[in-house]
A = this chain, B = another copy of it.
Amino acid sequence: MMAPSFKEYFHLMDDVSDGRPSGSLPRAVALLRTLAASGGEGMRLTNAAATAGVTPASAHRLLRMLIDEGMVEQDARSKYYRLSIEFFSLAARAGNPSNLRDICRPVLLRLSAALGDTVFLLVRSGFDAVCLDRCEGPVSIRSFTNDIGGKVILGVGQGSMAILAHLPESEREEVIRFNLPRLLHFGLFDEVFFRNEIERVRESGFAARGSGLLPDMAGVAVPILDRERRPLAAISIGTTVERLNAERLPTVVQVLRREAEALAPKINPFDAALRRPGQQVGSY
């Protein structure tokens, strides 16, 4: 089986496949999701309506409402709809739960300057991890969570793995059970390998190298743990395989760990979010 392209990968993460939403709010959200999944160019009305599972008439009415609300823009002559910059700006403030990003920013800057690599801040979101912040180092990097706001399946990539591995037993199992099919779908893991990897990370306290999903790319990540040793987030650096050689690795891990430990007490422990089961995650 072939490894999926980035585009395929991210497409599969979108939960557009809602079965006929009812009520105007769910429909509107379905449209927003659809537009988000459409990429930067936007979508035609008919297409968006079909994808979101809404009649064209409703889609038209709803999209107009959303334009009135400033959440959606429409290209003046092509009629293409897209999410608005204002929507982007509005939601950008959601990427700072309990001021996590603000608190971690200086650390990311320091790490990126000290190590010369790209640094990421990741948090869990359901069965995925989301990149909250990123500081570019001089070395150019490709990564699953390259972009701020980018989503990866929990367990894919070092930062994501660091979070998963440090979840408490029951949650960890729940996530593994949910994610295994998603991962196998890509032919990237078999279960034993995956579970071994998780154990290794949990015991060593950091995730390194990772799965070699991206050739020549390597990374290290450590979790930020609260007093009950629950993972609040992960700090991760992305670099090239050659830069992360055997003699440099321990140093990097130590630097990361020190920063993560210093960070932990500063973070106001926010509770696990309340969520309806089975929502907001892709179904395969």
Report which A residues bind B (CB closer than 8 A). Answer: 15, 23-26, 28-29, 32-33, 35-37, 39-42, 62, 65-71, 73-78, 82-102, 109, 112-113, 123-126, 130, 132, 135-136, 138, 140, 147-151, 268, 270-276, 279-280
Chain A contact residues: helix, strand, loop or mixed: mixed
Contacts A24-B23, A83-B94, A86-B280; is A109 near B273 (CB within 8 Å)?
A: no
- Contact A94 B82, beta carbon cutoff 8 Å: yes
Complex Cα distance A279/B73, Å?
Answer: 12
Chain B nearest CB, measured from A184 CB (Å): 23
Complex Cα distance A74/B275, Å?
Answer: 8
- Contact A93 B130, beta carbon cutoff 8 Å: no
Question: Counting chain B CB atoms within 10 Å of each CB, which of A90, A97, A148, A150 scores highest?
Answer: A90
Q: List 20 A-B contacts (CB under 8 A).
A: A23-B65, A25-B25, A26-B69, A29-B69, A36-B90, A40-B93, A40-B96, A40-B97, A40-B100, A42-B97, A67-B274, A68-B276, A73-B275, A75-B270, A76-B272, A82-B97, A83-B91, A88-B91, A92-B149, A136-B136
Task: Provide the residues of chain B in CB contact with A74, threshold 8 Å.
Answer: 273-274
- Contact A68 B279, beta carbon cutoff 8 Å: yes
- Contact B39 A99, beta carbon cutoff 8 Å: yes
Nearest B residue to A65, CB-CB: B25
- Contact A92 B24, beta carbon cutoff 8 Å: no
